[in-house]
């Protein structure tokens, strides 16, 4: 196989469909080396949540980005988009399928958030390149992966009370934290996306919880994107 050209992560939404799976895996490895775990430059004043959903046939994607103020968690702005899906469903490469819609919604915002929280994985990915990492590089913004389920890794079950957490490990490396955000509910899987430390990511997730399992940024994004899908598929009137 010929060497993969070093594509810029910010300019690959259409070209990715013309690359082979081995080429895309090589690209993920190239891009992963650009992911940074560095402290935030200042305490964040705003945080955005992103979520997306697909039509039953997988041909359409809806994405929502919601910006909230900190510490009040009041919604400042929201943006949404509907896109045609051109990339197939390939486990481990889902960010190529999902990122374009989120980026399209993000670029409609008039408020640039300090941090983006993504309903998905960050470094807790087989090649350390989940959706939160992909979006962090594309948008050049600190990102957090806040997933509802584990993709890889081993962990000790956190205690039953809110705030209990444990390390998520993979091949001897700490790739995230498993945190209980509400008493006696299933934990969330937190990992770095880009330009933030794991401790800061965990702290922000806990700071954004208001009595629900999901933190407010991704909870609000999930609620809105679900409404959007139902509206356009004709099952709801808003």
143 contacts 195 by C-beta, under 8 angstroms:
yes
Bridge-based pairing of strands 165-170 and 173-179 is antiparallel
Spell out the domain ranges in the chain: 9-232
95 contacts 131 by C-beta, under 8 angstroms:
yes
| CA atoms of 59 and 202, how far apart (whole Å) | 34
* Helix ranges restricted to H, 109-172: 131-139
63 contacts 225 by C-beta, under 8 angstroms:
yes
How confident is the prediction along the chain (238 residues), in pLDDT tens digits per residue? 344 444 455 555 556 667 889 999 999 999 999 999 999 999 999 999 999 999 999 999 999 999 999 999 999 999 999 999 989 999 999 999 999 999 999 999 999 999 999 999 999 999 999 999 999 999 999 999 999 999 999 999 999 999 999 999 999 999 999 999 999 999 999 999 999 999 999 999 999 999 999 999 999 999 999 999 888 776 544 3
CATH tag for 9-232 (out of 3.30.2170.10, 3.90.550.10, 3.40.50.150, 3.40.50.620): 3.30.2170.10
Q: How far is CA 74 from its chain centroid?
A: 20
| CA atoms of 124 and 145, how far apart (whole Å) | 8
| CA atoms of 128 and 52, how far apart (whole Å) | 21
**Burial readout 127-148 (b: 16 or more C-beta within 10 A, e: otherwise):** bbbbbbbbbbbbbebbbbbbbe
| CA atoms of 86 and 14, how far apart (whole Å) | 8
Q: How far is CA 9 from its chain centroid?
A: 16
169 contacts 150 by C-beta, under 8 angstroms:
no
179 contacts 188 by C-beta, under 8 angstroms:
yes
Q: How far is CA 49 from its chain centroid?
A: 8
209 contacts 196 by C-beta, under 8 angstroms:
no
pTM above 0.85, yes or no: yes
């Amino acid at each position: 196989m010929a060497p993969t050209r070093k594509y810029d992560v910010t300019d690959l939404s259409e070209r990715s469909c013309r690359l082979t799976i081995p080429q895309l895996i090589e690209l993920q490895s190239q891009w992963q080396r650009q992911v940074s775990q560095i402290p935030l430059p200042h305490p964040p004043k705003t945080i955005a949540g992103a979520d997306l959903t697909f039509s039953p046939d997988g041909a359409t994607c809806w994405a929502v980005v919601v910006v909230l103020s900190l510490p009040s968690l009041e919604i400042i702005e929201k943006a949404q988009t509907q896109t045609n899906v051109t990339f197939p469903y390939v486990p481990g490469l889902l960010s190529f399928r999902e990122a374009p819609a989120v980026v399209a919604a993000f670029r409609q915002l008039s408020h640039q958030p300090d941090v983006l929280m993504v309903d998905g994985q960050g470094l807790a990915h087989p090649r350390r390149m989940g959706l939160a990492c992909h979006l962090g590089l594309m948008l050049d913004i600190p990102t957090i992966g806040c997933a509802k389920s584990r993709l890889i890794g081993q962990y000790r079950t956190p205690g039953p009370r809110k705030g209990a957490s444990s390390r998520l490990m993979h091949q001897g490396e700490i790739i995230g934290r498993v945190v209980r955000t509400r008493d006696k509910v299933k934990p969330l899987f937190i990992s770095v996306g880009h330009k933030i430390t794991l401790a800061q990511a965990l702290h922000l997730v806990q700071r954004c919880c208001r009595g629900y399992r999901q933190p407010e940024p991704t909870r609000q994004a999930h609620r809105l994107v679900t409404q959007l899908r139902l509206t356009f598929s004709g099952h709801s009137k808003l």
